[in-house]
């Protein structure tokens, strides 16, 4: 499966973006990665987690940003 971590990603202007990082539980990195962000004012809590979980379950790292 995967493990989910709360992380901060540095961005322009000295701000940090809150994110979840989904990491495969098996194998060794480096892993392929996809950054996912919800559009239209949504947040990481609006169902993107299920997509990130599915991608991580097949061997990829998925940082999921909070956009609002």
What would the pLDDT profile of 12-60 be if each residue is shown by its tens digit? 999 998 888 888 877 787 877 777 766 666 666 666 777 777 777 777 6
Among the listed residues 52, 4, 54, the one whose alpha carbon sits nearest the alpha carbon of residue 25: 4
Coil/strand/helix, residue 48: helix
Residue 4 near residue 20 (C-beta atoms within 8 A): yes
Predicted local distance difference test score (pLDDT) of residue 68: 46
Per this entry, what is the length of the chain? 68
pTM of the model: 0.59
pLDDT of 67 over the 60 cut: no
Identify the H or E element spanning 57: helix 48-57
Predicted local distance difference test score (pLDDT) of residue 8: 92
- Greater confidence (50 vs 66) lies with 50
């Amino acid at each position: 499966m995967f493990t989910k971590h709360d992380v901060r990603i540095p961005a322009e202007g000295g701000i940090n973006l809150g994110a979840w990082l989904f990491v495969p539980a098996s194998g060794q990195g480096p892993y392929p990665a996809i950054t996912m962000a919800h559009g239209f004012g949504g947040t990481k809590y609006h169902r993107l987690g299920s997509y990130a979980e599915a991608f991580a379950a097949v061997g990829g790292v998925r940082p999921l940003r909070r956009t609002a």
